Amino acid sequence: MNALRNAICAAVLISLAPLSPASAADTYVLDRAHTQVIFTINHLGFSTITGSVRDLKGTLLLDTTKPESSEVTVTMGADSIDTGFAARDKDLQNQMFFNVAKFPTMTFKSTHVTMTSSKTADIQGELTLLGVTKPLTLKTTFNRMAEDTIGTKVYKAGFTATTTLKRSDFGMKAYVPYVGDDVHVTINFEGIKQ
């Protein structure tokens, strides 16, 4: 029974935003060393380019008695986009793409959690990119909740989430459709219980 309860709780870990004071929530802080936001995008039909967001901050309030009430808030540095090619990364910072001078951060804030099985959940939320806010659903799978027995011995929870968004929905229309409009995102998350 405890394993099932832990699975349900951990499946909602992707929701990072504050709960009401009356709720029984534990706080988890995003472990920057073990959390990744990875994206892929089609390049002219020749290849798929992969990149990541390096600057991540987030807080999770996890309500173990009512997982559907758990929430997540994540902030990402737009200037930390890394595709492994410095010249392209510099181009991605300009006005045609992430326009980091005007919009230095991207945010995701959960609005609702729907459990889809004992180990999966749909995390509905709002993504703000380039000053535009749109709904986004993260398909989330629970990985594990336990003490990290290597090094720090902290209690952690982990999950993997995926989603697809259209960059043009946020006003990033440069080179569409030649450079893909659909951006596929995978999030590997570890949170440290406070």
The candidate with the shortest Cα–Cα distance to 8, out of 145, 163, 188, is: 145
CB 14, CB 140: distance < 8 Å:
yes
Phi-psi region of 63 (alpha: psi -120 to 50; beta: other; left: phi over 0): beta
Give the pLDDT confidence score for residue 15 in this predicted structure.
Answer: 38
Can you give the residue range of the structural domain that contains 169?
A: 2-193
Find tokens 């596929």 and name the residue: 184
Question: What's 135's domain CATH number?
Answer: 2.40.128.110
Which residue stretches of the chain have pLDDT < 50? 1-23
**Which parts of the chain fold into alpha helices (H)?**
2-11, 86-92
Pairing of strands 155-166, 182-193: antiparallel
Give the pLDDT confidence score for residue 20 in this predicted structure.
Answer: 37
Give the pLDDT confidence score for residue 90 in this predicted structure.
Answer: 97
CA 85 to mean position of chain CA atoms = 23
Give the pLDDT confidence score for residue 170 in this predicted structure.
Answer: 98
Number of domains in the chain: 1
Give the pLDDT confidence score for residue 8 in this predicted structure.
Answer: 37
